[in-house]
Every structure is written in C-alpha cells, then in structure tokens.
C-alpha cells in the first residue's frame, strides 16, 4: 500500500471503533441490536465519560470552593479544570466567561433574567426566529410579559431556512436582543449565524446563540462567531445530563446582576447587605453539579480525540445517505430541506401517525423521536402536529440506516 493510501486509510472514519467506545451498544432492545437515532434528544456516553464520573465519585468527591481539606481542594481543582477545558473547547477568552448551568434551558433563562429583564421596557423588542426550541421562546415571553416588551419572530421558508431579509428588517432601534438557534432541533437547519451576528452588531444589538444542536456536530468557536452569549447542554455532546454551559462576553456578564442567590455566589453577607463573588461564580449559586462538569470535560476530551471535523464529515455522509434512502419510500416526505443541515432528519409518512411509526420502529430496535420536538411553531408552519425524527451521532453507521429503512418498510406492511 502506498503512503497516500495509508494516510487515506488513517483518515478514514472508523465508526466501528467509535461505536465500541459506547457500552450501551452491548445491549439489545426488544431482542434486536440497538439502532440509536435519537442523539438530538440526548446522546449516549462513551466509557471515557462514565469512567471520569466514576473516578470522581469514587476518589475525589467533596464540596468545591469550601474546604481546606485535601478532598475539597482536589474536587475544586477538577471542577475548575473542567471549566478551563470548556473554555478551550469554545475558544472563549477567559474562564470568567464560562458559567456552568443545568443545561441550555437554564443558560437561556439566566440571560433572560439577568441580562434582558433589567434592560427591557415597554416598546422594546426581542427578535427570535420561527425555528426556535421552546427553551428559546418561553423565557423571552416571560421576560416580555414582566416588562412590557414584545417578541418579533423572523419567518422561515418552505425549506426551513430563515428568510434573512425579513429577519434583518426586524432589527430596529427598539431591538434589545437577538436570540436564535445555531441549528434547528426539529429540522436540522444550520442558521446563518455569522450573518445574523454581523447584522445585529452593525446596529449595536447583542446576540444569544442557542448551540444545543450545533456543538455536537463540530463544536463552536465563540470568538469566530462573535456572539455575546452561547448556550449548550452536556448531554447532547456525549456528556452527563444536568450540566450545561453559558458562555457570556465578560463585559456583559460583569454588568449583569446575579439571578439566583445563595452560597458560593457571594464574597460577604450580612443582614445589612451582600457583596457578590467575581465571575463566573457570581452566577453559580449553591453546590454545583461537580461530577457533571467533570463528565462534560471528559466528553469534550473524547470528542476532540475523534476530531469534531471528522465527526461532522461522517455525520454529513450519513445524513445524505439516509435522506436519499428515505426519499425512495412511498408517501415519505422530508420536513426541512435546507441547503445546510446538521445530521437531523425529520419526516412524515402518509397515513401513518408519527407516534405509531415510533412504536413500530422501537419494536425493531430502532430509537427515533416522534412528536413536536419542543418546537411547536415549526410544526405549525408546516401544518403538522408531529414528525418522526432520526438524528445521527458519532457512533452511527450505514448499518443503522439499513435498519431504519427496513423498519420503515415494516411500518408500511403493518399500515399498508
Ligand atoms: N432538544 C430535542 O429532542 P436542554 O433540555 O436544556 O438540555 O436543551 C433544551 C434545548 C434547547 N435548544 C435546542 C435547540 C434544543 O434542541 C434543546 C433540546 C431536545 O430536540 C429535547 S426537547
């Protein structure tokens, strides 16, 4: 074999090896090998993450930032080390800009409460898109209701792409914030976030990006994106549940009041008054999810060891193959056909309710998500109550697509 061929082979994505890192695939579901196509809801964990959490729980656990004893010091070092790992992953300038949260939802609520509410008044506007997950709608509705502000929603087209000109037209001197998904969870659409940030910043408007569905498919560079806030969840990038991250530009975080009070977010407390801790701890009241942060750092390390770009290229190949295969099936309609998509494939089949589809597929060992995907305005746009959604992760391969297609044929037999 030539050196070039050898190099080509080395570069080839070894999905079998990646899959072997995930012990969940050793089990069967309904007597079948597991075909897991629901990573957009929550991804599976590699052994490296399970081991990191286990090591912490077995050898290191104590509360952080509170003890002079050895265990507390070691737990603190591991927790703050995890923060530094996240900083590097996002290419943030400082760990002061990395706040651990319970997930994307809590990160967005933090910004809605501590950034938006104090700045909003009657007549002010927040601009969203039609593609948002409920987590990037409801906190803004609550903030608007409390302050007299209004939400403006940028429309999408039949492919599930943002109508950029109409989005731009919504940016006015009344706009206080743009909050948009980086990738749509319901359709997979990759939003033109660089253009969105540029258009908003040209008018002095800060931008929050919901990166829950973007980070698993290639990471995110907050300096390159230029956004002011970026949110993501650990469990969608092969880490634990109950841990997530808010990146915030330091200057903005400094100006923001804390949104929850309690231990660890203070420097001193008396009944006369309280002084708040420095960043990032000002926003982390109470004992944090220490093992979750450590597991998240291990997940990032794992993703980096495969290479986010390699994962992305592999998933794109799966998406293209699955889309072509599914489009051959009678009555199947792909919902969301944007030019640029992450590895999310939403579809309907004439005459079969998505929930029935999900149940039949489950009998075949194929896990997909069905329903409105916590994105009811997207469903509403397409005149649907629900879709079936297959989403791909680093451990999927062409066999999973074969099994999905075979299970869909089975559904046709049952309902045909
Ligand atoms: N979407 C899905 O199946 P949490 O629950 O806080 O980890 O993430 C919320 C969230 C926010 N934004 C986007 C774009 C999301 O996709 C999600 C979670 C899952 O699509 C569960 S509803």
pLDDT digits (tens, 9 = 90+) for 199-229: 999 999 999 999 999 999 999 999 999 999 9
212 lines ligand 1 (CB under 6 A): yes
Distance CA 38, CA 390 (A): 6
Distance CA 243, CA 109 (A): 14
Distance CA 295, CA 245 (A): 13
Atom of ligand 1 nearest to the CA of 233: 7
| Ligand 1 geometric centre to CA of 233 (Å) | 8
104 lines ligand 1 (CB under 6 A): yes
| Ligand 1 geometric centre to CA of 202 (Å) | 29
132 lines ligand 1 (CB under 6 A): no
Q: What SS3 class is residue 225?
A: helix
- CATH number given to 4-45+307-415: 3.90.1150.10
| Ligand 1 geometric centre to CA of 41 (Å) | 7
Distance CA 183, CA 210 (A): 8
Largest CA distance in the chain: 77
- How is domain 50-304 classified at the CATH fold level? 3.40.640
The CB density around residue 64, as the number of other CB atoms within 10 Å, is 22
What is residue 8's predicted lDDT score, i.e. its pLDDT? Answer: 43
* CATH 3.90.1150.10 location in the chain: 4-45+307-415
273 alpha-carbon distance from chain centroid? 38
Q: Which of 130, 185, 368, 372 to mutate to test the pocket of ligand 1 (most atoms within 8 A of CB)?
A: 185
Q: Parallel, antiparallel, or unpaired: how do β-strands 244-248 and 98-101 relate? A: antiparallel
Distance CA 394, CA 315 (A): 7
What is residue 5's predicted lDDT score, i.e. its pLDDT? Answer: 41
Atom of ligand 1 nearest to the CA of 38: 3
Tell me which residue has its CA closest to atom 19 in ligand 1.
41
Let me know if 227 is a catalytic residue.
no
213 lines ligand 1 (CB under 6 A): yes
Using alpha carbons only, how large is the chain's radius of gyration in Å? 22
Atom of ligand 1 nearest to the CA of 107: 6
Residues 6 or more apart whose Cβ sits within 8 Å of residue 54? none
Tell me which residue has its CA closest to atom 3 in ligand 1.
41
Q: Which of 134, 179, 229, 233 to mutate to test the pocket of ligand 1 (most atoms within 8 A of CB)?
A: 233
Spans of the chain below 70 pLDDT? 1-11
Burial of 405 per CB tally in 10 Å (0-12, 13-18, 19+): middle
What is residue 11's predicted lDDT score, i.e. its pLDDT? Answer: 54
Atom of ligand 1 nearest to the CA of 184: 14
Q: Which of 101, 106, 133, 289 to mutate to test the pocket of ligand 1 (most atoms within 8 A of CB)?
A: 133
Atom of ligand 1 nearest to the CA of 103: 6
Sheet with 98-101, edge to edge strand ranges: 98-101, 244-248, 229-233, 207-210, 175-181, 125-129, 150-154
* CATH 3.40.640.10 location in the chain: 50-304
Helices 70-90, 290-306: inter-axial angle, 10-degree rounding: 40
| Ligand 1 geometric centre to CA of 99 (Å) | 18
209 lines ligand 1 (CB under 6 A): no
Going from the C-alpha of 185 to that of each of 28, 325, 408, the distances in angstroms are 27, 21, 22
Q: Of these residues, 62, 151, 374, 376, which one is catalytic?
A: 374
156 alpha-carbon distance from chain centroid? 21
Q: Parallel, antiparallel, or unpaired: how do β-strands 344-349 and 273-276 relate? A: unpaired
Q: What SS3 class is residue 100?
A: strand
Q: Rounded to the nearest 5 degrees, what angle is found at the Cα of 48, between the Cα atoms of 45 and 53?
A: 80
| Ligand 1 geometric centre to CA of 132 (Å) | 10
| Ligand 1 geometric centre to CA of 232 (Å) | 9
233 lines ligand 1 (CB under 6 A): yes
What is residue 12's predicted lDDT score, i.e. its pLDDT? Answer: 77
Going from the C-alpha of 165 to that of each of 68, 191, 192, 373, the distances in angstroms are 57, 13, 12, 27
Atom of ligand 1 nearest to the CA of 181: 14
373 lines ligand 1 (CB under 6 A): yes
Q: Rounded to the nearest 5 degrees, what angle is found at the Cα of 105, between the Cα atoms of 322 and 295?
A: 75
What is residue 2's predicted lDDT score, i.e. its pLDDT? Answer: 39
- Return the closest-CA partner of residue 38 out of 402, 407, 395: 395
Element (H, E) at 11: helix 3-11
Distance CA 97, CA 228 (A): 10
Q: Rounded to the nearest 5 degrees, what angle is found at the Cα of 329, between the Cα atoms of 43 and 189?
A: 45
| Ligand 1 geometric centre to CA of 302 (Å) | 21
What is residue 415's predicted lDDT score, i.e. its pLDDT? Answer: 85
């Amino acid at each position: 074999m030539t050196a070039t061929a050898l190099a080509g082979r080395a570069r080839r994505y070894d999905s079998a090896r990646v899959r072997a890192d995930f012990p969940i695939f050793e089990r069967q579901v309904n007597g079948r090998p597991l075909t897991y196509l629901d990573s957009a809801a929550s991804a599976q964990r590699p052994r490296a993450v399970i081991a990191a959490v286990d090591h912490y729980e077995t050898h290191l656990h104590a509360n952080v930032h509170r003890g002079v004893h050895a265990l507390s010091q070691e737990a603190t070092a591991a927790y703050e080390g995890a923060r530094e790992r996240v900083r590097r992953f996002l290419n943030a300038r400082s760990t002061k800009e990395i706040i651990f949260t319970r997930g994307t939802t809590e990160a967005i609520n933090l910004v809605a409460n501590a950034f938006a509410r104090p700045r909003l008044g009657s007549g002010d506007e927040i601009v969203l898109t039609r593609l948002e997950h409920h987590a990037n709608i409801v906190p803004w509705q609550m903030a608007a209701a409390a302050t007299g502000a209004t939400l403006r929603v940028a429309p999408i087209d039949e492919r599930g792409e943002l109508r950029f000109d109409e989005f731009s037209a919504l940016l006015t001197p009344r706009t206080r914030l743009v909050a948009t998904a980086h990738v749509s969870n319901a359709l997979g659409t990759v939003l033109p976030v660089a253009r969105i940030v540029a258009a908003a910043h040209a008018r002095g408007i800060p931008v929050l990006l919901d990166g829950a569905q973007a980070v698993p498919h290639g990471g995110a560079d907050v300096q390159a994106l230029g956004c002011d806030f970026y949110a993501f969840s650990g469990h969608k990038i092969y880490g634990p549940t109950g841990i997530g991250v808010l990146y915030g530009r330091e200057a903005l975080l400094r100006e923001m009041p804390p949104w929850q009070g309690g231990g660890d977010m203070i420097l001193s407390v008396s009944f006369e008054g309280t002084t708040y801790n420095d960043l990032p701890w000002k926003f982390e009241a109470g004992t944090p999810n220490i093992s979750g942060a450590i597991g998240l750092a291990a997940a990032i390390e794992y993703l980096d060891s495969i290479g986010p770009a390699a994962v992305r290229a592999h998933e794109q190949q799966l998406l293209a193959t699955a889309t072509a295969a599914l489009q051959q099936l009678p009555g199947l309609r792909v919902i969301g056909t944007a030019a640029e998509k992450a590895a999310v494939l939403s579809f309907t089949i004439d005459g079969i309710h998505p929930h029935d589809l999900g149940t039949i597929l489950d009998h075949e060992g194929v896990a997909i998500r069905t329903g409105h995907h916590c994105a009811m305005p997207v469903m509403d746009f397409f005149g649907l109550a629900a879709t079936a959604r297959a989403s791909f992760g680093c451990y999927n391969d062409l066999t999973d697509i074969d099994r999905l297609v075979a299970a869909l044929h089975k559904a046709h037999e049952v309902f045909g």
